[in-house]
Every structure is written in structure tokens, then in C-alpha cells.
Amino acid sequence: MDTRISTSRGLQGAVIVPGDKSISHRALMISALADGTSEIHGLLDAADPGSTLHCLRKLGVDVEKVDTALRVKGRGLHGLRAPMNVLDAGNSGTTIRLLTGILAGQPFPSTITGDESLRQRPMKRIIEPLSLMGARIEGTASQTAPLKVNGTFPLRAINHRMHISSAQVKSAILFAGLFADGTTRVSELVPTRDHTERMLGLTRVKSADSYAVEVIGGTGIQPQQFQVPGDISSAAFLIAAALLVPQSELRILNVGLNPTRTRILDFFRSVGGSVEIIRETTVAGEPIGDLLVKSSLLQGGIELQGKQVAELIDEIPVLAVTLALSGCSLTVHGASDLRNKESDRIRSLVLNLRKLGLDVEEYADGFAFQGKNTLLPAECDSFEDHRIAMAFGVAGLVLKGETVIKQSECVDISFPSFWHLLSSIERR
């Protein structure tokens, strides 16, 4: 499906973005391992969490919808059943990596795979630490899915120092640590999103050179009432749109404001964006608030590397497009992991920005461009990547003329209502 976007006259209204994808995955998995029935409210109804739900059902977890909530009957740490066939994680890297951490501690073999895109994404990053814990995990020759997991119970507790910034890897090890004999410790130089720690009631400790979190094997999980906040990574596209399109004022309701996720707000403000938190509360350990965004003149030059890249990794597509449309410059280094997402996001961004008439330099670990006042509408390829599609959808609201987003249905991965929502907030 192709979507055509025309120049906007302004955006206005109050909107709710879909539930946080990262929290939705974890709420499902933690509920499945709990000693009793949990309820999840606000779960993201999209393809990726759907893949997690599908896999959990194959492992014997009973899930039913009750009104607007999901009721998950947890089977405890030792109650999962051997799946009858291969588990399918679809396009979801979170599903395959986190669930492999759980499967590593099961007393039965299993195989988990995904679609063509997911089968190209690197899995060595979880295979190595989980193997050190005693699991036997076999991938392809290039260390990709499908993964054959021969679980072991109990696993060995390890003290693991992260070599890459990845909340998925950290969470996989912490989940495996629930099935280990002893205390498993994970330390990281750059603090990545900490939803797993918060939801399991773990404490992160800062030392002189790292951040560490520990989990004690065999610790039971109590059933909970989860309230999934709006996904700030999804909200970022609407924030960018409201900042860029003149005569816009948008209120985005109930957005998750976890401090490991809000660097994007600091970024928008640093280039002159009017983004205000107007109500903040805490629900189930996660800060939540409303955002008021007004159209703004953005200016300046930005350089991202190291810790900054780790904190903004999912938002780099939309921030790149935002700066490009504002005539600002951007240099990104240390972002080679962008090449291992749903698409090679460095290449996807570079190719589409060049279509808009921007001179972009591509590096192995990033890209750079100088500001240009006038860009042109074009036919942009989504590369079947939801964040690329939405980022250039935002561009279409600003460019003079009609912009086409190819294979735009890929937004169903995280934000199925995105195209309809853009139309609904158009100033009449």
C-alpha cells in the first residue's frame, strides 16, 4: 500500500498514542511467569506485541480479553509447556531476544524464528551470554535465527559486562537470571531503558564507571495490574509534526516519561522546540504525563555519538528528518547498530533524504548533512520499516506538494492508526 501525504495547513487537537511497545512485550512475559493472574491495560494492539502473545500461547499461557484489558494466567517460573512446533516472533526483535532468555532456563528444547527481516538480524549478542549461563543455543552459521534452544535448569549465574548498549540483551540475561542458581549481575556503561528492572522490582546501582542491576535466581513473580503508558517513541513522530508544521498546537495524552526514554524531549528543546510536560503522575512505577507541543522555529547544528546515540537509537530517523526539514545540520557517529534494525536505517535514511534533494554523507557508523533551506517532495521507500515510513510521512506534511510513502502498511508494527491519526488532527 502507498500513502500520499500533502502539505498541512496546521495540526491541532488532543491525541492518544498507542501503548508503549517495550512495556507491552515485558508486561506479557512477566505476567506469563507470575504466580497467578495479571491484568494488562493499554497493551499496544500491534503486530510486534501480537508476536509475543502468540509465542506465549504456544508455551501454554492462557490469555483472554476482558473488556479493554488482557487477563494473563501466569504459569509461574516452572510452568511453561514445551511448544508443539516452532515459535514465530514475526518481525519482533524484542520478542525473539527476550523470550530466548526465558527459554534458556526451561527443561525442554524449543526453536524460535521470525520473518525474513528478523532472520537477518544479529543474535550472537544474546547467544554468547546465555551460553555462558549453560544454555545450548544454536543459530545459523552467521549467528542469526532460527535459534534452537536447549534449555537448562538451573542456569549458571554470571556477572556480565555489556559490550554494546542494548536493553534487549540486558533484559534477556535478566530473564534468564530468574532461572539461575545464584545472583546474576549485568553492568553497562550507558544506561539503557530500564522497564524490565522496574517491572521486576529490581534496583539499578551506579558505580564509578557503570550501571549495574542484579536478579536473584528463583525469585517468584507476583501477579500485577499493568497500565501501559503511551509510547514516547511513537509520540516522537507527532511531536516532530507539530513542531514543523506552522500553526500547530497538539496535546499528546498519557505518554510514558521514563527517564531512560525522554532524551528525545531534551533534543527537541535543544534546537528550539516548544515541548512542555503539563501533567505528570506515576502509574505502576512508570512516570506518565501529557505533552503540549507548539510549532516552533528550529535551528542549530547537532552532533550525536556514544551515549547520545544509545539514548536516542529508536528516534534517530525522526530527529534526522526533523533537522533536515528545519535547515539544520546533523552528524551521527557510533550508530552502526542502526544497520541491524527492521531495515538498515542508516542506508534507508540516506537514500530517502537524497531523494528529497539533501546532500547526505554516509559512514559505516552513521551519516551527516548540512542544512538546506528547500527540500522537494518525492516518492520515499519505507523499506518495510515502520520508523522510516512514519518519519518521511512527517516530512510529507511540510514539503510543498505531494509525498508518497511506499509500502506504508508497515506502520502496523507499532502504530497501526498512524495515517488515520495524521488526517484527523489536520486543521480544518
* Residues tagged active-site: 314
8 Å CB contact between 123 and 169: no
Q: Assess whether the previous peptide bond of 146 is cis (omega < 30° from 0).
A: yes
Residue 138, helix vs strand vs coil: strand
| 351 touches 360 (CB < 8 A) | no
CA distance 112 to 131: 16
**Closest Cα partner for 63 from 229, 195, 226?**
226
- d(Cα 416, Cα 398) in Å, to the nearest integer? 22
Strands 225-227 and 211-216: unpaired
d(CA 214, CA 197): 9
> Is residue 64 within a helix (H) or strand (E), and if so which, with residue range?
strand 62-66
Phi/psi region, residue 320 (left: phi>0; alpha: psi -120 to 50; beta: rest), is alpha
Residue 227 near residue 195 (C-beta atoms within 8 A): no
Name 116's Cβ contacts closer than 8 Å, sequence gap at least 6: none
Q: Strand pairing partners for 221?
A: none
Rounded to whole angstroms, the Cα distance separating 201 from 274 reads 35
Interaxial angle between packed helices 386-398 and 316-325, expressed in degrees from 0 to 180 and rounded to the nearest 10: 20
> Which residues are CB-neighbours of 345 under 8 A, at least 6 positions away?
316, 317, 338, 339, 385, 387, 388
Q: 261 — alpha (psi -120 to 50), left (phi > 0) or beta?
A: alpha
Q: How far apart are the first and last CA of the chain?
A: 26
Q: How far apart are CA 401 and CA 8, in angstroms?
A: 10
Is 416:45 a contact under the CB 8 Å cutoff?
yes
Cβ(295)–Cβ(272) under 8 Å? no
